[in-house]
Structure 1
Amino acid sequence: MALEMRVLQADEWDVWYDHLELAFGGVPESRQERDLYRSLTEPGRSLGVWDGGTCVGSAGAFSFRLSVPGGALVPAAGVTMVGVAPTHRRRGVLTSMMRRQLDDVRAGGEPLAVLTASEPAIYGRFGYGTATYALSVAVDTTRVRLSLPPGTDEVRLRLVDPQKALPECEQVYAQLVARRPGMPARQPGWEQLAVLDPEAAREGASPLKCVVAERADGEVAGYARYRVRADWEPQGPEGKVEVADLDALDPAVTAALWRYLFELDLTSTVRAGRRPVDDPLLHLVSDIRRSRPSPRDSLHLRLVDLPAALEARTYAGPLDVVMEVEDAFCPWNEGRWRLVSDGRGDARCTRTADPAELELSVRELGSAYLGGITLSSLAAAGRVRELGPGALTAASRAFTSDVSPWLPHGF
């Protein structure tokens, strides 16, 4: 029987999601998590591949607006829930879903597609490049101290119910989005992901806790959500603080929240994952080695409408460069493009017959797009080729961002 790919119908969601759980190892999710993702799923943007009455492939997309250098929010398809049944591997199921999905994204007018990859080696062939990294730390708080900026002692901290504090925390998050590329503006319903706290997912840790930081006028200017994992050794308590989120609007609030987490009773380690690679914590700690920072890939990005995507962001300086772009999977992006920017927010990207000064694929443009990975570093790996003298340095500088791009949560 031939395989059939079709848009998901609402009454097929349970079967479709059961397939996804199987593709990711077969461990059932909690009812709370399943219900949340049911509410967030956009059926019209979700694809299923069916073998008779059996779902053997899935791919979905969320309608995001992603911050880019300069602070603009650009429509982006948040690719998600991609899986192929183990019985149907190597039959072109994944490629057919990626083909249909990118065609749909283009038709919908979204310049970008983004994803987080369970296996990063998969998506390069579809034109996705690693655009952000995330940092994890595991700080030995018995031996590491914090250097606190002025004003830290003036910050008031208040322990609150995570659910009840959501509106105040979301106001903080919303103010940060335009400051750092890679952050999605949260649509209604997505705030619930941050406080999802099924008991089965805690693995012995405490329920989720939330501390908010207030300025002298009572305004909430930061928050941290965390769990505590109790542990005891013969010599005494060895508890671990597991930080889920920490967002703050200024240095004093940032420091006050980290100090609170470092000084929790009966703990000796603070662990945090999915932090920006330029996190201020790296400059607050007295011993970076005993903080054990470790990066890994996070957001993977693809330019779906190349000129629209390149015109949507701001560049760090004036730029006039001609690029020869290879994009076999989305051939409408292939060819020679002139990118001109005044460095103040106005950019134009148009087709040209002028000689190319840089040669690269759409994957490299995806990696460099948010400003965290330089074209020069990609050139050093042989993935960008300079054809005109000085073009690489000028373009690499213009594409950079003052702060590292960051994806604060998965999808």
Structure 2
Amino acid sequence: MDYPIRPIAPSEAQKFFTSNAIAFGHDPRPEEAIASTLEYADLSRSISVWDGDQVAATAGTWSFEMTTPGGLVPCGGLTWVGVLPSHRRQGILTAMMRYQLDQVHERGEAIAALWASEAIIYQRFGYGMAAEGVELAIDRTRTALRTAPPFSGRCRYIQRDEALGAWPGIWDTDRVRYPGMHSRSAGWWENRVLRDPPWPGPAGFSSLFNVQYEEGGKPLGYARYRIKEHYENGSAASVLSVQALHGNTDGAYSALWQHIFGVDLVGKIQAEWRRTDEPLYAMLADPRRLVRRPSDTLWVRIVDTVQALEARRYRTAGALVIELRDDFCPWNGGRYVIEGGPDGARCSHTTKTADLTMTVNELGALYLGGMSAHQLARAGRIEGAAQAITTADSMFAWAPQPWAPEIW
């Protein structure tokens, strides 16, 4: 590739995001949306490829702290990846991935992570599918509950300023429990999550409604939803789309779902990127009526194996020697011994005989506890004796399952 690759300056943001829009096939962002993004994006971590005065490709990295099973880890969150159709098949994407992963390594971030527009793209750069999300849909008349955790508080509608004061704390309480959730800066909250004016919704949907659950005046959960007004044969049959729902307690979670189910004039309720182990499944009287469509969400790429494996806890105590193949980041390959348990872990290079052999893709898939070593072994992706596979599953499995509720 003969094109220069570098971060952009603020004055180049319009060209950068216009190129990104062409790559994804949507209209360019309006100036106010770009200005809002620049309020919280770190342009020193932007990646642009130039052909003369044209941006031929784009990418960038968010600086996150990501939750692991029982811990936290520094993470480079890959975003904005796009190559103009006129510049495909020229090695540009590979060059950007090389640039980005080298930077993640130099900054001491143990992992990189992303949401993939196409699942096939990033596996060749060492990413493994580490988490799934579920799209839910249910007829409102079928939302009767068999059981529900009790609650003593109330739900009420609030405005943006109040949400900015209360919701970051609710998010932070939730995020340290669920592997795959990430930290949010104040700028992220102000200019992305609770942007003013808010991001437009899908065609025909309302702006966002903000609901907060409280007990004794203390905020313990929130939900955001949009409504698409619709009538069938004169009867109300609107669609309610849940954009976010977080409850710090079982009672808060229960109260928020019951509030959603009680909104009038609604025929169908839907939600995206919910948990694979959503408690709602077990609360419904007729769970078959809850239509569930799983899809990959978070893909993880281990960049520093020692740091990454020591940054999480393990469900049961055990030890494994892993032979790790990593062609794209050769500093990361080799043989490692991991000794871990519920209280912590130690990882180091070793010359001991390997119990398991895998590529970095498989380690990324295992990392958050969302993928089974047994499943990967049956697929021919992990080599090792049956007992070592069982040990890996006993160690790496985690509850709750990983959850990534926000696309970057």
For the superposition of Structure 1 and Structure 2, which TM-score range results when normalised by the shorter chain?
over 0.9
Aligned to 1:367: 365
- For the residue of structure 2 that corresponds to 1:134, the secondary structure is strand
More displaced 10-residue stretch of structure 1: 143-152 or 84-93: 143-152
Amino acid across the alignment from 1:34: I
8 Å contact from structure 1 (residues 30, 198) kept in 2: no
CA RMSD of aligned residues (A): 1.6
Q: 1:12-161, aligned counterparts within 5 Å?
A: 12-70=12-70, 72-152=71-151, 154-161=152-159
- What amino acid is the match of 1:381? A
Of 111-120 and 158-167, more deviation after overlay is shown by: 158-167
Q: Counterpart in 1 of 2:189? A: 191
Correspondence for 2:348: 350
Separation in structure 2 between the aligned mates of residue 145 and residue 47 of structure 1, nearest angstrom: 50
Amino acid across the alignment from 2:121: I
Superposition deviation, residue 409 in structure 1: 0.6
Deviation string 1:228-281 (CA, Å, 9 cap, x unpaired) is 111001051101111111000112221111111111111111110011111111
Matched, 1:394 2:394: no
Residue of structure 2 in register with 1:385 after alignment:
383
For residue 164 of structure 1, give the secondary structure of its aligned residue in structure 2.
helix
In the other structure, the counterpart of 2:285 is: 286
CA distance in 1, matches of 2:150, 2:346: 44
Q: Distance in 2 between matches of 1:164 and 1:81?
A: 31
Q: Provide the rounded CA distance (Å) in 1 between the counterparts of 2:302 and 2:379.
A: 21
In 2 relative to 1, CA 140–338 (structure 1 residues): closer, same or farther, beyond 3 Å? same
Q: Look up the equivalent residue of 2:167 and give its one-letter code.
A: C
On the 8 A contact 1:148/1:252 being kept in 2, the answer is: no
- Aligned letter for 1:322? V
- In the alignment, the residues of structure 1 paired with residue 261 and residue 54 of structure 2 have an alpha-carbon distance, to the nearest angstrom, of 50
Q: CA deviation at 1:32?
A: 4.8
Q: Which runs of 4+ in 1 moved over 6 A?
A: none
Please say if residues 76 and 113 of structure 1, whose CA atoms lie closer than 8 Å, have aligned partners that are also in contact: yes
Output one character per residue of 1:136-193: Cα deviation in whole Å (capped at 9) or x when no partner.
Answer: 11111112312343523x2211111144322212211111111111110112211132
Task: Give secondary structure in 1 for the equivalent of 2:65.
Answer: strand
Indicate the SS of the match to 1:402: coil
CA distance in structure 2 between the partners assigned to 1:115 and 1:175 by the alignment? 23
Distance 1:34 1:285 in 2: 42
Contact 2:200 2:207 in 1 (8 A): no
Say if 1:334 and 1:199 are closer, same or farther in 2 by CA, change over 3 A: closer
Identity %: 37
Aligned to 2:318: 319
**What's the CA shift for 1:37?**
1.9
Alpha-carbon distance between aligned partners in 2 of 1:200 and 1:184, rounded to the nearest angstrom: 24
State the one-letter code of the partner of 1:371: G
Q: Hey, what does 1:201 align to over in structure 2? A: 201
Distance 2:125 2:271 in 1: 31
Structure 1: state its 5+ residue gaps: none
CA drift at 1:368: 0.6
Q: Is the 1:57–1:82 contact (alpha carbons within 8 Å) kept by the matching residues of 2?
A: yes
Partner of 1:410: 407
Name the residue aligned to 1:211.
211
Q: Distance in 1 between matches of 2:390 and 2:207?
A: 50
Q: Which residue of 1 aligns with 2:265?
A: 266
> In structure 1, what is the equivalent of residue 250 of structure 2?
251
Secondary structure at 2:113 match in 1? strand
Q: TM-score, normalised by structure 2?
A: 0.96
Q: Deviations over 1:284-335 (max 9, x none)?
A: 1222222101110001000001111111111111121111111100111112
Flag the 1:134–1:233 CA change in 2: closer, same or farther, 3 A.
Answer: same
* Shift in CA distance, 177/150, structure 1 to aligned 2, threshold 3 Å: closer
- Deviation sequence 1:196-243 (CA, Å, 0-9, x none): 46474342212211111111x221111111111110010511011111
The DSSP-based 3-state class of the residue aligned with 1:390 is: helix
1:240–1:268 contact (8 Å) kept in structure 2: yes
Partner of 2:10: 10
Write the letter of the residue equivalent to 2:119.
Answer: P
SS at match of 1:109: coil
Per the alignment, residue 230 of structure 2 pairs with: 231
Alignment partner of 1:376 is 2:369: no
**Separation in structure 2 between the aligned mates of residue 254 and residue 148 of structure 1, nearest angstrom:** 13
* SS of residue in 2 equivalent to 1:47: strand
TM-score normalised according to structure 1 size:
0.95
CA–CA distance in structure 2, aligned partners of residues 224 and 285 of structure 1: 19
Alpha carbons 1:40, 1:189 under 8 Å: kept:
yes
Match of 1:170 in 2: 168
SS in 1 for 2:95: helix
Tell me, yes or no, if the aligned pair for 1:162 and 1:209 is still in contact at 8 Å.
no
Q: 1:199 to 1:57 in 2, by over 3 A?
A: closer
- Letter aligned with residue 277 of structure 1: T
